[in-house]
Amino acid sequence: MSNFNNNENLEEAPVVLQVDRQRLAALEQSLTVAWPEEGCALLLGGRHAGALQLQRVWPCRNVWRPNWWETCQPRDCRDEPGEAGGLHQAHNRSDRFVVDPLELIAAQKYCRKKGILFLGVAHSHPRGAPQPSAMDQHHAWRQSLVWISAIANPNSQLTEGDRGAWWVGGSGRLQPLRIDLPPIV
Ligand SMILES: [Zn+2]
């Protein structure tokens, strides 16, 4: 696991994620275009005490491919929980995602230039609930935000129950965040 925000380890964990309707739409549109594959996007913004603010959505390709972890990750990341043996044989981009590493580097450079924070990663579940899978938990970056939108049908409007956000604490445990959206006017 990586740890993006080492300097924030001593701060209290955030409890709420503030998102405006425009950025929510941008995020979920960028995740939807990948359907029926999992879409992913990088989330940039700010943080004040217990609140994260989503300020930029950085669309990102899902570059997962078979044997990704074997070729690109240290040995201790190769074992997938509950999937010892036939790794990846039954998987594809409809249930796996990896953010494009070049986009990740570009987004982090952008954050430094603009003085904003790299908050974390969003992805979609085309076939499942908006809950972190064992893989999501295993590969989540500590001290970062995890966002999941369940997009079973790319033509239907997503509602509150179709999305969730979590903060990955220093221990690697995912804690649910309240998503604070302004009311629809
Ligand atoms: Zn997932």
- Write out pLDDT tens, residues 113-171: 999 999 999 999 999 899 999 989 999 999 999 999 999 999 999 999 999 999 999 99
| Contact call for residues 162 and 151 (beta carbons, < 8 A) | yes
Distance 147 CA to ligand 1 centre (A): 9
**CA gap 138, 168 in Å, rounded:** 11
Least confident of 26-35, 89-98, 120-129: 89-98
Distance 99 CA to ligand 1 centre (A): 12
**CA gap 174, 176 in Å, rounded:** 7
pLDDT for residue 10 is more than 60: no
Distance 32 CA to ligand 1 centre (A): 14
Distance 108 CA to ligand 1 centre (A): 22
Report the percentage of the chain scoring pLDDT > 70: 82
List helix spans (H) across the chain. 21-32, 68-72, 101-114, 134-139
Distance 135 CA to ligand 1 centre (A): 7
Distance 24 CA to ligand 1 centre (A): 18
Q: What is the predicted pLDDT for the residue at 26?
A: 97
Distance 22 CA to ligand 1 centre (A): 23
The CATH superfamily of 20-180 is: Cytidine Deaminase, domain 2 (3.40.140.10)
Distance 96 CA to ligand 1 centre (A): 7
Distance 61 CA to ligand 1 centre (A): 15
Query: Domain-by-domain residue ranges, the chain?
Result: 20-180
Distance 143 CA to ligand 1 centre (A): 18
| Contact call for residues 120 and 144 (beta carbons, < 8 A) | yes
Distance 38 CA to ligand 1 centre (A): 8
| pLDDT band for position 185 (cuts 50, 70, 90) | confident
Q: What is the predicted pLDDT for the residue at 67?
A: 74
Instruction: Indicate the pTM of the whole model.
Output: 0.85
| Contact call for residues 16 and 180 (beta carbons, < 8 A) | yes
Backbone angles phi, psi at 95, to 5 degrees: -140, 15
Distance 117 CA to ligand 1 centre (A): 23
| pLDDT band for position 77 (cuts 50, 70, 90) | very low
